[in-house]
């Protein structure tokens, strides 16, 4: 990734748009916010239409979450990071099923947002602690089967918000923590409705040898 990552920010609060743009621009390497607006149209027209990553607020003025907008963006192959006020497990899981690469609550700060945007730019999922909690507490019938270690990683990450701490607790390396989280997300990408981002995730996981074709 030599070219600089670009992002479009969809949020109905100007302060949030400005803050997100500042955070993304302040990282190294910086992510350039090429467009920002209170309406999802900004992600479809002008500079926003070609941005690598879409940072999408689910509650754009209305009481109902903008799940339809999310679905349309994902179907168009866009890499979306959902950035929401609400720490609601069900909505988080729904966003993953629709094909969002990350569900991030606004209570989770800069560090997670920058990492999520950077991962999304590569087409990778990012699992922040609140989302790990939602996955660990998932009681739906169609949830994928996770190994005991994968569940442990999810719970520890949710509880501590620190990958170093998880690694220390479980006696593994931080990169192993990441690959566990990634494998969990691939398992989730294999269930529910189809989406380009999810398919790409699974395809790359097979290429990288993270999972075998027989696991499908």
Partner 1 sequence: MADDDRLFANIRIVLLAVTAVVQTGLNATWLVQHQRDYRPAWVENTAFATLALVTVVCAVWLLRRRPLPAPVAFGGAAVVLAASVAATAALPEDGFFLDVHWSFGLVGWHLLVLLVDRLGVLIGALAAHGVASVTQFVLVGDHDRAEVGGAGVVVLSVLGFQAAIVVISLVLRRQTGLAAAVAADRDRIATRAALAEQWERDRRQTFAGQLGATLPLLVGLADGALDPRDDATRRRCALAATQLRRLFAENDDVPDPLVHEVKACVDAAERRGIEVSLAVSGSAVAVPTVVRRELTAPLVVALSHTRTRARVSVLRTDQEVRVAVLADTDPGDGIAPTSPLVRVECDTYGPRTRMEARWKPN
Our CB check for partner 1 shows the closer of 41 and 149 to be 149
Locate 24 and state its tokens: 């993304």
Euclidean distance between CA atoms 186 and 188, whole angstroms: 5
Which one of 70-78, 118-126, 162-170, 174-182 is the stretch in contact with partner 1 (CB under 8 A)? 162-170
Our CB check for partner 1 shows the closer of 29 and 137 to be 137
What's the count of helices (H) and strands (E) in the chain, helices before strands? 9, 5
Q: Decide if 129 contacts 157 (C-beta within 8 A).
A: yes
Number of residues engaging partner 1 in binding (CB under 8 A): 19
Which one of 50-58, 94-102, 161-169, 186-194 is the stretch in contact with partner 1 (CB under 8 A)? 161-169
Binding mask 65-104 for partner 1 (x = CB under 8 A): ----------------------x-x---------------
Which one of 20-28, 41-49, 53-61, 125-133 is the stretch in contact with partner 1 (CB under 8 A)? 125-133
Locate 114 and state its tokens: 């920058």
Residues 25-54 that bind partner 1 (CB under 8 A): none
Cα distances from 160 to residues 155, 166, 167, 169, 185, in angstroms, run: 9, 7, 11, 10, 19
Stated length of the chain: 216
Our CB check for partner 1 shows the closer of 142 and 214 to be 142
- Judged by CB under 8 A, which of 32, 160, 176, 190 binds partner 1? 160
Q: Residue 76 belongs to what H/E stretch?
A: none
Phi, psi angle pair for 38, to nearest 5°: -90, -5
């Amino acid at each position: 990734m030599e070219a600089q990552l670009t992002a479009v920010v969809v949020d109905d609060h100007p302060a949030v748009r400005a803050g997100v743009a500042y955070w993304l621009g302040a990282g190294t390497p910086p992510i350039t916010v090429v467009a920002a607006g209170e309406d999802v149209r900004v992600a479809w027209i002008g500079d926003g239409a070609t941005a690598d990553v879409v940072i999408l607020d689910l509650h754009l003025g209305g009481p109902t979450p903008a799940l339809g907008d999310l679905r349309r963006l994902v179907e168009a192959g866009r890499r979306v990071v959902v950035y929401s006020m609400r720490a609601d497990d069900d909505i988080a899981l729904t966003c993953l099923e629709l094909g969002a690469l990350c569900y991030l609550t606004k209570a989770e700060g800069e560090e997670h947002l920058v990492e999520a945007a950077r991962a999304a730019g590569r087409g990778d999922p990012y699992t922040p602690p609140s989302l790990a909690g939602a996955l660990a507490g998932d009681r739906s019938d169609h949830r994928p089967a996770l190994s005991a270690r994968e569940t442990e990683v999810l719970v520890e990450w949710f509880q501590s918000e620190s990958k170093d701490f998880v690694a220390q607790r479980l006696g593994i390396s931080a990169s192993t923590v990441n690959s566990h989280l990634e494998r969990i997300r691939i398992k989730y990408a294999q269930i529910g409705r189809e989406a380009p981002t999810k398919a790409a995730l699974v395809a790359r996981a097979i290429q990288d040898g993270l999972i075998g074709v027989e696991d499908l």
